[in-house]
Chain A
Amino acid sequence: MFGAAEAAGAVEPGFLLENAYVVPLVMAASFVLTLAIGKRLGKHASWIGIVSIGFCFLFAVGVNVQWYGYVHDSEHAAESHAEDGEESHGDDTEDPAEDEDAARAEDPELPAGDEGALVVPAAEGAGPMVDGESASARGPPTVAAVAEEGEGGGEGHAEYTIEPVTKSVTWWTNGTVEFEVGMLLDGMAVMMLFVVTLISLLVHVFSTDYVAGDRRYTHYFAFLSLFSAAMLGFVMSQNTLQLITLWELVGVCSFALIGHWWEEKPNSDAALKAFLTNRVGDVGLLVGMIILFFAAGQTFDIIEINTLANTGDITHTALLVASLCLLAAVMSKSGQFILHTWLPDAMAGPTPVSALIHAATMVVAGVYMVARMYGVFWNGLVIGGSSINALAVVGGLTVLGGAGLAFVQSDIKKVLAYSTVSQLGYMVMALGVGAWTAALFHLFTHAFFKAGLFLGSGSVAHAVHSFDMKKDMGGMKQFMPKTFWTFVICTAALIGIFPFAGFWSKDEILAGASQLGGDGSYTAFLVVGSIGALMTAAYMTRCIYLTFFGEFRGAHHGEVSHGTEDHPVEEDHLAADSGHGDDLEAAHDPHAGDHGLPHESGPRILVPLYILAGLAIVAGFANIPNSGALSWWPEDFALVFEHLFEPRGGYFPSLTEAGPTGAVFAHPKFDIVIALSSTLLGLLGIGLAYAWYFKGLGPHGITQRNRLAGVGHRILVNKYYFDHLYTGIIAGGVKGPVARATNWFNKHILDGVVDGVGKGAVVGGRFVYETIDQKVVDGAVNGSGYAAEGGGQVFRIMQTGKVQQYGAILFAATVVLAGIFIVVI
């Protein structure tokens, strides 16, 4: 480990890595440019976005390549056999202080210029001031010392450090607090760069066909660009403030794109709902980040906060409260249970947007945030300890809750939306049980196949002008074979059939749930995940059956296109498209004539589908384990994902040393039993659904006959009544009943009191009048009446209406009181 710090420091990150910050800037420029001159370009406006995102994609690929070299160099410079570092080494006995010294002394990167200081922070316990100044103050490395220490400390140390590439400038300062903006590139950020730019590129291409002829075509592409910029900036945020800002910007773009066709009330309602639901969680995000800011000694730096959390310098209470607050943000942004309600409604947006935002990138922002602040969550929630934590529970609930709801949807996009909810639950659950790599790997593979599914559904909807599987689809296999096969491949990946991508990632999560944590404390989540796999298989089979098999239920275009309630606007738009967009391919113009049957989409829709389906097949090979039954797998090709993208350094839970909570970060091993059983469960789910839908077996109509089943069905159809809870009970409860209660109180209690007092006064007055007044006090009463009048006169004079006079009295009184105060004290 001694060698690691200086060796990693000595490794040159490479030009692209150091300048990756241009990627979000390019997309932001694309946004401005599209807005500025997009209208003039007409339908060519999309080229700005496509060229920009294409450039960014190439850049991201270059960054990944350089990152590969960087990691490689870091490892080999550290120690040649450092690669098996994922196995925990109990015999590691190096002195952390020494290590720290080494890291400090050998931090070689000097500020590149006045403001853009390239900093490679010393990760292991480098103390609270990891920033440009302190890095430059550490001075240049002495090469001799590097070699010496590298050899002296370099025996048998499996754990090495991969220094994140950071770069930041001071944005502004307020007093002594510096607000920085910058980039932090480590494995997960590099990985997300690739995923986001790839999916965004495909969605851009797909959209040129899908929203062709839309009345806000430029607006649409401008916001796609802005969204990409925000998301790319988000994944490489250097500090929490930047994280929050871009998190919100992502939310704003989501709002704008969900409500893209805002002329229809349901769409703008959905956009508002998404935005407001996210606000609920954002409060948690703000509070959590503020707690961390102060707990970590007034810093926004993510690496520093995580490092301090890992070294135990932040109290556990602060970490616990902060991570629970941040969990609220995850629940809203990543559609976790009880705040998931916005995500299905967000399907009101154009389908490519759903693919980009609500499947592949934005909704994983919450997951990504947990992964980014993992030091905080790890120590705050005692992940890897012997008790169940909130993160895993939320994730587990979401897995089952989302999967259950997916069964009763008739809208193909809503099936996929609930599927997304459920899969996000898997990721959060994996993070909760400590399977960090599995969560990120699932994020990686899920992005491809879920985007493929969404774009596939968009392709189908483009043909039939509807999203309603029950009314307007069925038998699409014969019309759209290419879409069908890509859809099936992505579905297989989602279900987790060997050897598709989802198999590897889901299996890793399940293995994590069974093996991590003390005393098998997370085995409950193995059960949850397995049931989830079964349900996923079943509802996806249902979805494929309803969409692609059976009789075509859609009517002819001319008649149906304005009929469905769910997505009337989109339909209008699609119908409106029919006259346009045929310049690129003559074959693609399905709506020009009155011919009735849908047919295959054009190449701009199909090519992204092919690419995504291909990735759904191969993405899983990025992290094939070489343990357990797969130990024969060559080491060089095993766990590539884990090697490349898992952070190594003091800001991440250590593989070897127990943190403040006593838990050691670990990786699950491949377990052939779990792999086989989860595949079998998936096949069982497919089989059950096949029997039910294709063969018509089983008790159909049970929801009508059996009361229990009917209740269950009704609960699912009503989405567990969460919407009723939110709008009916909570909002309505504040609005209506409180007003009514106030009114009632006013009418009965207050009026009653007043009436009672009045009546009592009458009675009392009569008594007084008859017995005392008449006889005794007449004179006295007259006297007091005059007195009251006199007093009234005095106060009447004081109430002049002159503010100046009131002020005079106020100030005089204040001064007198102050004088008394001073004299007495």
Chain B
Amino acid sequence: MSICGSAAWARPAPTHPQPTHGRHTPVVFLYVIEFARNVRLWFAPEVVRQEGTTPDYRFSLANERTFLAWLRTALALIGGGFAVDQFLPDLRWGWRVGLALALLAAGVLCSLRAVNHWMRCERAMRRGEDLPVSRFPALLSVVVAVVAVAMVLVVLVGWEG
């Protein structure tokens, strides 16, 4: 079955609105502005629904499942924060709480980004634009790798001491 045959985004994308910000504005700053603009949309679904045309319901459901997968990742990170606190009781307080808070913060970021990305995808599908790309998966995997290495080191050093 090919549901991509009728994909709205298979059409050539219309010209993208160019950002009006200066070329030297830091990228992070642009992200924050974009994020704040999207937060309004979380609470005003009518705005999203009025734009463009309603995509095939299967695309919307696929987008919803992706959102849920990211939400599960966020919940797993939060669970990991609890687990570090509970199952590594021999660690020094600072390391234990630091690692737990890092995982919890990653969970919060991940869940906020999940709803933001879902909204952007939904809007792009309604407008018939390309789906938004994101650096977040790469960023998250780097953070998880760093935390994992830190845990290995901490556990080894903790057992030595």
Asked if A and B are interacting partners, one says no
- Which residues from chain A sit less than 8 Å from chain B, CB to CB? none
